Structure 1
Amino acid sequence: MPTLIVLIGPTGVGKTELSLRIAEHFQTHIISSDSRQLYADLKIGTAAPTPEQLQRVPHHLVGTLQLTDYYNAAQYEQEVMTLLNDLFKQHDVVLLTGGSMMYVDAVCKGIDDIPTVDAETRELMLKRYETEGLERLCAELKLLDPEHYKIVDLKNYKRVVHALEICYMTGKTYTSFRTQQKKKRPFKIIKIGLTRDRAELYDRINRRVDVMMEEGLLDEAKAVYPYRQLNSLNTVGYKEMFKYLDGEWELPFAIDKIKQNSRIYSRKQMTWFKRDEEIQWFHPEQEAEILDYLQKSI
Structure 2
Amino acid sequence: MPIARFSPFELLLLKSRNQADTAGLLLLAWVLASKGHLADADRRRLTELARDFRHGHELEPIIEIAAQQDLGAIQLAAEVMQKDCCGEQAYPFLRQVIALAVADGKLASAHHHILRFLADLLGVSPSEFAQLFAEVAGKEFANPDDPSRTGYWQAKERHRQQQEHQQQERQRSQDRHSRERHSHERYSSGQQHHQRSGTGGSQRQHRHHSTQEPPPGDRTRRALAILGLEPGASRSEIRKAYRRLAQLHHPDRFFAEGEAMVANASMRFQKIKKAYDYLMQAS
So what's the TM-score if we normalise by structure 2?
0.24
Task: Point out the structure with the larger strand share.
Answer: 1
Task: Point out the structure with the larger helix share.
Answer: 2
| Structure (1 or 2) with the larger CA radius of gyration | 2
So what's the TM-score if we normalise by structure 1?
0.23
